[in-house]
Structure 1
Amino acid sequence: MMKLVKSKYRIIALDVDGTLLNDRYELTSGTVESVRMAHDAGARIVLCTGRGPANAIPVLEQMKLDGVLITHNGAVTVETPSRRLLHQISFQVAELESLTVYCRERQVHFDVCTAWEMYAEGIGEEAKAMYAKFMLTPHIVPDVLRHAEPLVKFTLFGSEEQMDRVEADIPALELPPSLTAIRSGVHFIDVMPAAASKGEALKELAALWGVDRSAVVAMGNYYNDVDMIRFAGLGIAMDNSPEDVKKAADAVVPSNNEEGVRFALQRYVLS
């Protein structure tokens, strides 16, 4: 057992999928122990994820922690255990009519999210298996374009080849300049407000808590993590990250399947 010391880091921002969880979507006991030790050493643990609150909060609860989570890639910040919505950046689904029609015509699976809920027009077998892994059950609706409540994210899902094609086609769809598309995983593209990002949300949270960026650690593994990795005083990439993500980091640690978060916390935070 490592001797507990007071950490110089006051915020530890952790991406969830591909970083905190292994590829079986599991939290290992060693990772949980290290995260809790960092918490006990005085650091606030902040999950920063593309997930929504509904399936991000259980990950925090599994570690027997509560606090603040940055979700939907920075579009929504919530507090637990109160489940209070602290911050939201949203848009109207009508702004993505061209993308919705594109997805329907090319049979690209998509869903839309409010801060707390998810909606889809249908679910095939591959999408059903994906949602099961992420502990999600979208509401099925006949036409998402009729949705009146503000949205925070529009997500496309498919094979790597299909997402590569979509990524190449998106510029021709002329999305409003207030929205941006980001590759949030091999099989995912998220379209959301350009003003929202994990890095901006983390920056605002650090300012709210009076924490200098030098006292912030951020760990991630994909392109939607790059801005928070660059913002943090110590930005860490998992070894399973693409090369451009690794280049943005101050350090690269073992992969999510090799308890990279545990390794990083023991080397940089708890030593």
Structure 2
Amino acid sequence: MTEPKRWLIGLDIDGTLVHDDGYLSPRVLSEVKRMRALGHHVVVSTGRAAANAYPVIRELGIDTGFAICSNGAVTIKLDSSNPKGYEVYDVKTFDPAKVLTELIDKLPNAHFAVEDIDGSYRFHKAFPTYALGDQNYETPLEELLHHPVSRVVVLSPDHDVDDFVGLMDKIGLQSVSYAIGYTAWLDIAPKGIDKGHGLEQLRQKFDIPGDRILVMGDGRNDIEMFLWAKGLGGYAYAMGQAPEEVQMAATAVTAAVEQDGVAEVLSALEGLQFLD
């Protein structure tokens, strides 16, 4: 396939490629493989850290190219000769001291963790076992504040999502980018860094026209990716179970993850160029 005809396809993992229990539909897997066989750039774009994302990437059969992890703060290059299956290609970091100090004051019962440059985590209160991957280390809260990190993660059992959104609006968090999950879960990244930022670096690297971008996701951390794709003339699809604000930011809404929404869109990719 000649380069101008290639698409850049950015796919979220949780709630998009895989179900809540980690199940990957054979139909979705088949469509991802078909896209790659046609020569398109299929790029996983996820809030997961690289170590947590890689098992799904491997299950998809993707062993070359790149993936966007940690909501855009980390880009990995897939490399089957590497014992981990990938190497870190780019990492964006920030000083967490100011934002953590403010959040600790406002959320004294919250659980805090930071993602370090090597992809490992340090935390001061326990997180769900699946959340931080295999390399995570308990440490005093004070020690989370004093090294550059690629992400701060906040889990607040005292709040539901609406409460958390309101609180974050009041705090402002002007110095960093942040996204809130379905539960009271907050991902804080370097200023201006999100999934769209990471994909834009790859779009430029691959020289993909803006109208040949297709992204799919289901979470609030996908909204910036949607806006990026649409702003360049591309397409953004929200999953059927996505919150209303996520659906409103998309070009269109596909079926829910349980109904293979990713496969629905990818199977019709060839027709997108005729929509305009």
TM-score in same-fold range (> 0.5): yes
In the alignment, which residue of structure 1 is the partner of 2:56?
59
In the alignment, which residue of structure 2 is the partner of 1:268?
269
2:264 and 2:4 map into 1 onto residues whose CA distance is 15
Match of 1:195 among 156, 172, 192: 192
Relative to 1, partners in 2 of residues 1:22 and 1:9: Cα closer, same or farther, differing over 3 Å? farther
Work out whether 1:100 is the aligned partner of 2:104: yes
Match of 1:114 among 95, 113, 116: 116
Question: Per the alignment, in what secondary structure is the counterpart of residue 170 of structure 1?
Answer: helix
In the alignment, which residue of structure 1 is the partner of 2:14?
17
Residue-pair matches, total: 258
TM-score, reference length from structure 2: 0.84
2:177 and 2:228 map into 1 onto residues whose CA distance is 20
Work out whether 1:35 is the aligned partner of 2:37: no
Asked if the contact 2:97/2:146 (under 8 Å) is kept, the reply is: no
In the alignment, which residue of structure 2 is the partner of 1:256?
257
Gaps of 5+ in 1: 1-5
Q: What is the one-letter code of the residue matched to 1:153?
A: R
TM-score, reference length from structure 1: 0.85
Deviation, 1:270, is 8.3
Match of 2:71 among 57, 73, 80: 73
Q: What is the one-letter code of the residue matched to 2:187?
A: D
1:21-80 Cα offsets, whole Å, 9 max, x none, are 112221112211110111101111111111110101111111121221111111111111
Deviation, 1:137, is 5.4
1:226 and 1:235 map into 2 onto residues whose CA distance is 9
Question: Per the alignment, in what secondary structure is the counterpart of residue 132 of structure 1?
Answer: coil
Bigger relative contact order, structure 1 or 2, given CA contacts below 8 A and separation 6+? 1
1:204 and 1:113 map into 2 onto residues whose CA distance is 22
Asked if the contact 1:222/1:241 (under 8 Å) is kept, the reply is: yes
Q: What is the one-letter code of the residue matched to 1:113?
A: E
Question: Per the alignment, in what secondary structure is the counterpart of residue 153 of structure 2?
Answer: strand
- Give the fraction of aligned pairs with identical amino acids, expressed as a percent: 25
Bigger CA drift: 32-41 or 166-175? Answer: 166-175
Large movers: runs of 4+ above 6 Å:
none
Match of 1:183 among 177, 180, 184: 180
Match of 2:201 among 184, 191, 204: 204
In the alignment, which residue of structure 2 is the partner of 1:234?
235
Q: What is the one-letter code of the residue matched to 2:96?
A: V
Asked if the contact 1:253/1:263 (under 8 Å) is kept, the reply is: yes
Asked if the contact 2:122/2:136 (under 8 Å) is kept, the reply is: yes
1:100-148 Cα offsets, whole Å, 9 max, x none, are 3443x2x11221112411111121xxx33xx337755521112353564
